[in-house]
Amino acid sequence: MQTNTFIDNAKVMAKGQITIPKDVRDVLGVSNGDRVTFIVEGGTVRIVNSAVYAMQMLQKEMTGEAKRVGLRSEDDVMALVKELRNEDKKDEGLN
């Protein structure tokens, strides 16, 4: 397994802004207009791709939910989707 371990630095400008070094942007998979999240733990700060971080948090939060509500197979999921779509169609008919 190859790791992306390296040290880079950036200068803090007058308004507290920094430019994220290209090597770091590449590792994070971020480019112009993307957002990053700063995670502060004690005296350490991690910078992560916000979209990736949000997906990881959602996955963590949803862990076990399918089993909890009785979805044990792909067929169960498809049946639930069909049921929800039918409810939406009924609701549209009421308007």
Distance CA 36, CA 53 (A): 9
Beta-ladder partners of 38:
47
So what's the pLDDT on residue 52? 92
The three-state secondary structure class of 38 is strand
Q: Are residues 40 and 75 in the same domain?
A: no
DSSP element (H, E) containing 89 = helix 74-94
Is the pTM value of this prediction over 0.85? no
Over the chain (95 residues), what is each successive 10-residue block's mean pLDDT? Answer: 80 96 94 95 94 91 86 89 85 67
So what's the pLDDT on residue 4? 72
So what's the pLDDT on residue 17? 95
Tokens coding 65: 């939910």
Q: Are residues 52 and 86 in the same domain?
A: no
Domain that holds residue 83: 69-95
Residue 54: name the closest of 66, 37, 71 by CA: 37
So what's the pLDDT on residue 94? 64
Q: Are residues 6 and 32 in the same domain?
A: yes
Q: Are residues 58 and 73 in the same domain?
A: no
